[in-house]
Structure 1
Amino acid sequence: MFGSPTIMITTPDACKQVLMDDEHFVTGWPKATLELIGKKSFIGISHEEHKRLRRLTSTPINGYEALNTYLHFIDESVVSTLEKWAVMGEFEFLTELRRLTFRIIMKIFLNKESDVITESLERVYTDLNYGVRAMAINFPGFAYQKALKARKRLVEVLQTVLDERRVASRTCSNPTAKDMVDNLMEIVDENGRKLTDEEIIDVLIMYLNAGHESSGHITMWATVFLQENPEIFKRAKAEQEEIRRNRLPTQEGLTLKEVRKMEYLSQVIDETLRLVNISFVSFRKATTDVFINGYIIPKDWRVMLWYRSVHMDPEVYPDPKKFNPSRWDGPPPRAGSFLAFGAGSRLCPGNELAKLEISVFLHHFLLGYKLTRLNPECPVRYLPHPRPTDNCLARITKLSSS
């Protein structure tokens, strides 16, 4: 299925060893994922190239100043979106959440682009995602072929954006505020080298995809779990009310300092990430024969790290199927036992931005809204990401006391 002999790893210690050992393991994603996300993205490049690219791009996305800059737009977007949803009646909660998170990530990366480009990119990303975890069968009717066409469209749109930006930079005497695309085009490393268009496009495809898919799905599940567990909802809401009470009368919107005080809400998010496992698997390839737990992994064999098995291990997480944010009280779990954002040098570079988006949404939802699912017993589909088959058909109600 994955194009080479593959060994599955399901224990925390073994996962930790593979993820932390950049000498004996390199990235080893299957063909479909590599071709669709991009050979010049983080999942396709060598360890040295990855270090270089991560160093150049991570701070503008996950750094404190960057998060502080993005927070105001995220906060305003969530407030206005919840108000709109409260008068919509029935709608697909997950579908609308994905649109919200996509608008946010587009604002961060392509602030200057039109709503038409945003809408066109959002549509093709749906096709791309269905092919990322499919078998690489390039034949009509298969998800992979449809996803290849989606990637081609994404590359065309993003290349046009880069070309237009270059023309504008030469002709515009009064440039507007820079966004992530501008920063990526101007980045120069210590050797004076700039990123190529292929590198920029693959980085954009990767970030734009990860920046809305995971955030949208986890926000949906966290909201559902909170609504299904009244005592947990009550405790999380009390924390948000305390934050609101301590706010200065002149303050407009959330601050990063307030978000950092949402300790219980952070536990709710981590528990959702553990239970749902949006990124439930990762791949590495052995560069030489390696011993793990008394077994040998031969050179060039692929290693599939099964995160779901780690997150549902009853020895690590008692009663693992129960949604219990309080299990995160006390010291953090041992290395290798919580892999929602991966681990090691290839830890997800946008993890802080994702948690920020989810926290802001849940803050406002808890303070003033209620979710009512129309099909609470709806079956769950697990690929490409776990989701209700009805995309969480629901109503959002604004509470009169808000």
Structure 2
Amino acid sequence: MEIWYVWLFVISFIVVSVGNWIYRWRNPKCKGILPPGSMGFPLIGETLSFFVTSKSIDIHPFLDERLKRYGPLFKTSIAGRPVAVSSDADFNHFVLQQEGKLIELYYMDSFTQMVHHDDMNNLGGSFHRYIRRSVLGHFGLEPLKRKLLSEFEDVISHELHEWTKQPEVDVKRRTVPMLFDLATQILMSHKAEDNLGEDLNNMLQGFMRFPLYFPGTAFYDCIQKKRKALKLTTKLVEERMESYGLNKDGEDGNKNGDFLDQIVGDIGKEDFLTKEFVPFMLFGLALATVETISPAITLATMFLLDNPSVLQQLTEEHEKILEKREDASSGLVWEEYKSMTFTHYVINETLRLENVLPGMLRKVIADIHCNGYTIPKGWVLLVNPTAQHLDSKTYEDPLTFNPARWKNIGSNTTAKHFIPFGGGNRPCAGAEFSKVMLAVFLHVWVTKFRMVRIKGGEVVRAPLLQFPDGFFVKVSEKHR
């Protein structure tokens, strides 16, 4: 009988403890009122719903259902972390201005392991300021004007010429190695071999998973591809450091003038710049270039082929650029790029519909108050631009590809309701780089080549934008 009482006590204690734990999970501590929403199941939260595949370019069902139920600000839990999700344009505009005061950059656990283990979220503002400044120095406005614009045209012309030799081409898959080669050339003055660029296709999708490292998982596959890329970047860093050391006493060690030369020269001057970390950083920057621009090029191509009248208007704009040249065979110049009014409408409309990422992650470093609710310090804030970009109150018939709508969209709308490259104090340093790349691709296509849609083109969100069956075209050269 006494043993029965002991077991009753143990079972009761376990039930009460588990019940208390579940209650605390569903009702996190907060010095105020938490946003509405659900924390889901203990530990996994609502992660499974977040990763459900949606066969539509529309807002992902995870967000759409909760926006309708809770409004533009709600709480949830993803991958074991409490998250506040915001689609409120005014709040997002405000909070993105508060970098370093209320929020700071945050990376998913899987991303930190992909790029540099567990210290990405602890590097601080000095690291991000340094990286932004360095990236702008090699990918920003001045290098774009000075040399990258013409380099883009040469590379894209060569790539599309190669496409003409194939019966059909998967646009997304073929643009990835092209972009990777461009990125590694700018970063490291190196053209990758062994089809390394192809390994990066759809790698971002592996980031958006639980960091489960065993064979058969998407994350495991990404880690294997990452190791292959890191062999290259590590080798290049070691070679460059050796070369720099040999020249620093008498000659200028900055021989190549690329991003890697600058980084190697700064090793020892910045605490976060180490021989071990730099290869990861180079890999991360190359991957960011590949997996953000390639979906945009693919989507723009698909939209234009599906809208012949828009394609015709775009072609006419670029034909007029050629007509105004003294030498029609000369390359693009910056003034021509800036004159591409309709082209920029096409790019904006593509970016508005693309939304390749489910949102921008920030860590809350001080309690944030919004519309009577409190987002506690330590939570993750997911700023979601998709709902803003697809809001029918701002964009009429939002799922329709209509570049002409940008004729009447003012700066206030673009500041608060159009944030494909983030906003606030730290917008994406590669914004202009991406737009120039898209513009040059479109220019080369419509002035030198013809494309015909062959098959594919299904777009899904899982939660990243993907083309599961590819998007295949047949390319031929125009004869003037």
TM-score (ref. length: structure 2): 0.76
Equivalent position of 1:374 in the other structure:
454
- Partners of 1:219 and 1:57 in 2: CA distance: 22
Letter of the 2:394 counterpart: V
1:354 to 434, 442, 453: 434
User: 1:61 touches 1:67 (CA, 8 Å); kept in 2?
Assistant: no
Structure 1 vs Structure 2 CA RMSD: 2.6
User: 1:94 touches 1:220 (CA, 8 Å); kept in 2?
Assistant: yes
- Partners of 1:225 and 1:328 in 2: CA distance: 16
Task: Indicate how the Cα distance of structure 1 residues 295 and 304 shifts in structure 2: closer, same or farther if over 3 A, else same.
Answer: same
- Partners of 2:136 and 2:257 in 1: CA distance: 16
1:314 to 359, 378, 392: 392
- The correspondence of residues 176-191 of structure 1 with structure 2, limited to 5 A, is 177-187=256-266
1:32 to 91, 94, 110: 110
Letter of the 1:386 counterpart: L
Letter of the 1:17 counterpart: F
When structure 1 is superposed on structure 2, of 98-107 and 171-180 the one drifting more is 171-180
Task: Indicate how the Cα distance of structure 1 residues 263 and 44 shifts in structure 2: closer, same or farther if over 3 A, else same.
Answer: farther
Do structure 1's residue 296 and structure 2's residue 374 form an aligned pair? yes
Equivalent position of 1:152 in the other structure:
227
Q: Offset of 1:169 from its aligned partner?
A: 3.4
2:297 to 212, 219, 225: 219
- Partners of 1:370 and 1:391 in 2: CA distance: 19
- The correspondence of residues 3-402 of structure 1 with structure 2, limited to 5 A, is 3-22=80-99, 23-38=101-116, 45-111=123-189, 113-116=190-193, 119-120=195-196, 122-126=197-201, 128-170=203-245, 177-187=256-266, 195-249=273-327, 252-330=330-408, 331-332=410-411, 333-375=413-455, 378-383=457-462, 385-400=464-479, 402=480
Letter of the 2:441 counterpart: F
Q: Alpha-carbon deviations, 1:125-176, whole Å to 9, x = none?
A: 2374232111222232211222223333333321111111122335578985
- Partners of 2:352 and 2:339 in 1: CA distance: 21
Report the count of equivalent residues: 396
User: 2:173 touches 2:201 (CA, 8 Å); kept in 1?
Assistant: no
Q: Offset of 1:192 from its aligned partner?
A: 7.7
Q: Offset of 1:385 from its aligned partner?
A: 4.0
* SS of aligned partner of 1:372: strand
Task: Indicate how the Cα distance of structure 1 residues 356 and 165 shifts in structure 2: closer, same or farther if over 3 A, else same.
Answer: same
User: 2:103 touches 2:364 (CA, 8 Å); kept in 1?
Assistant: yes
* SS of aligned partner of 2:166: coil
Q: Alpha-carbon deviations, 1:228-273, whole Å to 9, x = none?
A: 1122112111111111111122863111221111121011011101
- Partners of 1:194 and 1:144 in 2: CA distance: 26
| Larger Rg computed on CA atoms | 2
User: 1:128 touches 1:148 (CA, 8 Å); kept in 2?
Assistant: no
Unpaired segments ≥5 residues, structure 2: 1-77
When structure 1 is superposed on structure 2, of 201-210 and 348-357 the one drifting more is 201-210
- Partners of 1:321 and 1:374 in 2: CA distance: 23
User: 2:184 touches 2:192 (CA, 8 Å); kept in 1?
Assistant: no
* SS of aligned partner of 1:5: strand
Task: Indicate how the Cα distance of structure 1 residues 199 and 349 shifts in structure 2: closer, same or farther if over 3 A, else same.
Answer: farther
* SS of aligned partner of 1:253: coil
Q: Offset of 1:221 from its aligned partner?
A: 1.0
Task: Indicate how the Cα distance of structure 1 residues 56 and 47 shifts in structure 2: closer, same or farther if over 3 A, else same.
Answer: same
Letter of the 2:142 counterpart: Y
